[in-house]
Chains A and B, each alone.
Chain A
């Protein structure tokens, strides 16, 4: 960043804002790309994309990818990769189905056990990667085969379902409208959802303002005031608008709440905690991190455990959404998850990447999937286009870096 302290003072000139955007191109370009892609599909699908029903579907369809992208981001930032997550989704989904449907085990117990299974799988793989220094590519490639095979074994080739409604709610449920009745019934609006959305937006803006104030007090580099205003207004507008849209269908999906909580949590962990900082240092230069007193092996191990738990959660959400566990569940998910991280600006060599980038990357993929399906574009062409978008995003990244 080329900004000095002078530029950190509130700037009113649009020129300075432009300069700021230019030097932080990467951070804004992906968000811009997402907006452009959404507008594009909104137009060519004649407004179907942002119809309340479709928007809700979009969230439901991408929830498990986004949840796993959070864990994958940490793994990639630490300098590794996890190819097994798709198989783990299938395996944990299968375990959930076998436990609940075949053995009639209580839902809550099942959920907790399944999260633990995910964690154990992550621990097993992380153990080999962290302590035996076997490349993660190989360990998780092995894991991919193993867990794909195990889910086939446990399901015995069957599709197992349906799940009790409590389990389904994890994925297909909506926030109950505890404010119902305050509006005339004709409004058909889940008021609680709209209120929650609005409050979330305001809370975000509030934290941004507090942080900016604090930064200013300490002469910390800030974005120009104009950029700050525009950014926050856009945040409020889009969150309120999107929650309004969903409120006018059935409200905020439960899984969106889970996602929002996780995104907030992982953003906090990566940007504000010592453990997050250490993961970036580990990925940026493992030797320097180790000589600075960071337990690099343990840290690597934990990033894999974390990934496993999130893959387990995603596996249950996916099974709940389909209401069955099938032997083919999760196949190919790892590619979408990894692509989301790289589109979102993570570096394959480690040390670089943001949670919010991975989330935007996942939505870029998701909106394209959804939009192209609405347009009736075949799965063949969809794959080609998604592949090219991934390449273009990373090319843009590398090209930008080379120019700087």
Chain B
């Protein structure tokens, strides 16, 4: 098979840091090439070198594309040759339509006047290829993340893509959307389009990848051919972290006591469409020392459930009761929810969790400022002590607690958010996608923290789209679909198939229909 891309001896340094050192990458024509590595291993940097974000001259080494040495000055240079990169954070304009987004910067126009007929017919054609049924005039803001991802791919197709680069495409997708996306990649492969897939999800990689390149600390560890040999996930993980990962989930013997937290008949309506019932009279409880998981597809209503309980931060016409230790508590505002011992760690730490331009110390104390203050005056020394304690306890890697959180890696940012909520002294913690976009090593640390909290007697609720994660760390799992709980199982008796079956059994007749997305 021909080599479409070869990157040879790529070295890229930032002031004080060698981000890439002598990295080699070979992608064959028409293959799906997975690029894996822990956060900070240099995957994104390598792709930025390839796509011209870092122009020729700012790195050393050669890029051979279609047999020629290329010197890209910017993204448009590489796009011109069919190298399209789709970033983890989607670059779509929310208030423009699908069609407008697809042809943004590439408008089908003559003398500056757009030919809308052509735009729409071309868009319809592209949408068909990626399996989207929405009309081209749909606004991006009205679509779910999974479908937005597909629009990005349609956009790439409109540019005659030959090498498609996807940076964590399934990070924010649920299982079925992820599968659809992977199917699409396989289809492209059949059409001769090569792809580079950056992902943390090893099961996806083993499903679609033809070869795998592992990066660690800015260097190539090895390239594996998936067809030549059988490659175990353990081997990849071992290569990524450079150490033996005996178990991806820490072992623990739960000591489960009496029910601590109970939610009864919880009903929530959509914040804008008042007649749309988003949460349909849900009942659940958490026992002392127990980790409860909530599984479900994107749009099942898990985040909506959590946020509506946490100070009515979502929805309207909310009814139902929440009780702690058998006593009904008032959770009508965030202040009251926090005061009554609730904490909610958001799934979107950058937008909802952290004040990014502030430092670690200030972020940790934010939810419990009275805890470091007397009569409204902050005791800086106490605040510093608290911050340093959590920094040590949760192993937050930083130069000091004065470091701005924007400069931290995803895992360390998550630890700061966790610290903030631990310092608020909660009885019950709701963790929404606590390990999203976090590398394997940091995930393990987060799992340990979660288990430690449960062992201290707190009630812990974990919402996750990764079923294996829920099965690995929780004690009991609720399965949620379309605003209600459709199954409950002990984690020890559960399996991914069992969870999926519970969801599909109900969703069969409605599959493909768009479920309610969160509107903020």
Residues of A within 8 A of B (CB): 1-5, 214, 217-218, 220-221, 272-275, 277-278, 280-281, 284-285, 287-295, 351-352
Contact = CB atoms under 8 A, between A and B. Distances in A.
Interface stretch (B60-68, B240-248, B379-387): B379-387
Given A218-B384, A274-B376, A277-B369, A4 B354 contact: no
A279 B143 CA distance: 34
Contacts of B362: 277, 280-281
A285 B351 contact: yes
B310 A351 contact: no
Contacts of A272: 377-378, 380
A352 B378 contact: no
B376 A284 contact: no
Contacts of B338: 292-293
A4 B401 CA distance: 10
B114 interface: no
Given A272-B377, A295-B335, A290 B357 contact: no
B366 interface: yes
A395 to B, nearest CB: 19
Contacts of B352: 287-288, 291
Nearest to B358: A284
A280 B361 CA distance: 14
A330 B424 CA distance: 46
A32 B351 CA distance: 36
A257 B242 CA distance: 64
Contacts of B402: 1, 3, 221
Nearest to B373: A274
Contacts of A293: 311, 334-335, 337-339, 367, 424
A289 B334 CA distance: 10
A288 B334 contact: no
A95 to B, nearest CB: 32
B368 to A, nearest CB: 8
Given A293-B367, A295-B335, A351-B358, A274 B378 contact: yes
Contact of B355 (A2, A5, A284, A295): A284
Nearest to B338: A293
B21 interface: no
Given A274-B369, A277-B362, A291 B344 contact: yes
B358 A287 contact: no
Contact of A281 (B313, B358, B381, B520): B358
A273 B373 CA distance: 8
A220 B382 CA distance: 11
Nearest to B339: A293
B282 interface: no
21 contacts: A1-B399, A1-B402, A1-B403, A3-B400, A4-B400, A273-B378, A274-B377, A274-B378, A275-B376, A277-B378, A278-B369, A281-B362, A281-B366, A285-B355, A288-B352, A288-B355, A292-B366, A292-B367, A293-B338, A293-B367, A293-B424
Given A274-B369, A274-B378, A292-B366, 13 more contacts: A1-B399, A217-B381, A272-B377, A277-B366, A284-B357, A287-B351, A290-B334, A291-B346, A291-B352, A292-B367, A293-B339, A293-B424, A295-B335
Nearest to B369: A274
Nearest to B345: A291
Interface in B333-375: 333-335, 337-339, 344, 346, 351-358, 362, 365-367, 369-370, 373
B147 interface: no
Contacts of A291: 310-311, 313, 334, 344, 346, 352-353
Contacts of B377: 272-274
A351 B359 CA distance: 12
